[in-house]
Amino acid sequence: MLVHGQENEPTLKELLQQWQTLDGKISAKEAELKSAASASSEKPETPPSDTQDRDKLKTEYTNLLTQAEALITRLETQAKSQMAANPNDSEATRTLLGIMLNDAQFGRDVRVLKLGDSLIGQGINPQYFVMASRSERLSIPARELFDELLLRQAEAEQNDLPRVRFSTTQGEIIIELYENEAPDTVGNFISLVESGFYTDRLFHRVIDGFMAQGGGFKLQGGVQVDGEGPGYAIPCECNSPEKRLHFTNCISMAHAGTNTGGAQFFLTLSRTDMLDGRHTCFGRILEGMDVLAAIKKTHISTPQEEQPIDGVEKDKIIKAEVLRKRDHEYKPNKIEAEKSTNGQ
């Protein structure tokens, strides 16, 4: 019996039927918009009535998209609930995968990877990710998200990648390191963390929507000074077919040119695929994405130039510590002095 004032929440099957109907309406409205735009382009002058009709169509289309976002949220919640009750529920798994495919096509890497990590934690069959990565409806960058999830699933099963914790002025960030694909970079990074190198190092260059760079500078008497690099450089590991890609919330090596990196790194605030093959992505944030987002922005960047923001009290790493590592020595693979710079 229903309690007065309450209604039963629709089942996942019912929500999927609602989605099918709504998706049809969206497709029909898209066709109307294209038809109206095509008709307008054929007229030398557009009558006010036509402009009003197009504006009305755009408003209706926007409203349908808003309804779609709300329905997707309900679908995700209901599918997760069913999977919690039955991890082998194929209907719920396919629903969540469908949501991920949609997000992937629109470049929402944070949402795709977050949901994918959740499914990995529930023991999803990796073949679902394999099928998604081969989907012809997806662009190459979208497929790369599912390739990344396959790697993460294998890493979760192995469960032995090194982890580091940054205690910053905004809170704690825990990073898992890609030792399998970037052993030299990880070896160098672990050795620097264990030596205390990153204590009190500033996030000296933070650009909204791009990245937070740190590991190089310190404050001395309230003035930013070069904290000096480690005194050597390490090789880049960004050109192999196995290289990891720069999704949001990853850590990568900064450098002044090929094989000149040493200590400076950056944490990505967005998918920065233009850096793939140019910088070594060597880990990802497991916890503390909100902390990274809160680190104060220090620079404004436009297509023409990059300018510092005056009066910003820069955040810093208070302490860095290794939480776990594999049972072997971690040390830098130093490049010959005459072939390198002093490392950033």
Q: Is 326 helix (H, G, I), strand (E, B) or coil?
A: coil
- Assess whether 210 and 109 both reside in one domain: no
In a domain, 79, yes or no: no
Cβ atoms 235, 335 nearer than 8 A:
yes
**Could you say which residues of the chain have pLDDT below 70?**
1-7, 40-50, 336-344
Query: 265 in a domain, yes or no?
Result: yes
pTM of the model: 0.88
Q: CA 26, CA 108: separation in Å to the nearest integer?
A: 20
pLDDT at 239: 93
- Confirm if 140 and 271 have CB atoms less than 8 A apart: no
Bridge partners (DSSP) listed for residue 267: 212, 251
The pLDDT, as a whole number, for residue 33 is 87
Predicted confidence (pLDDT) per residue in 288-333, tens digit = 999 999 999 999 998 888 999 999 999 999 999 999 999 999 999 9
Do 146 and 179 reside in the same domain of the chain? Answer: no
Q: What per-residue string of b and e applies to 239-259 under the rule 16 or more CB within 10 Å gives b?
A: eeeebbbbbbbbbbbbbeeee
Predicted confidence (pLDDT) per residue in 9-37, tens digit: 899 999 999 999 999 999 998 998 888 87
Residue 52 domain-assigned (yes or no): no
Pair (132, 241) in one structural domain: no
The answer to whether residue 53 sits within a structural domain is no
Q: Do 207 and 272 share a domain, yes or no? A: yes
Q: Are residues 146 and 113 in the same domain?
A: yes
Regarding whether 201 and 259 lie in a shared domain, the answer is: yes
Contact 249, 152 (CB under 8 A): no
Domain count, the chain: 2
* Containing structural domain, residue 203: 163-339
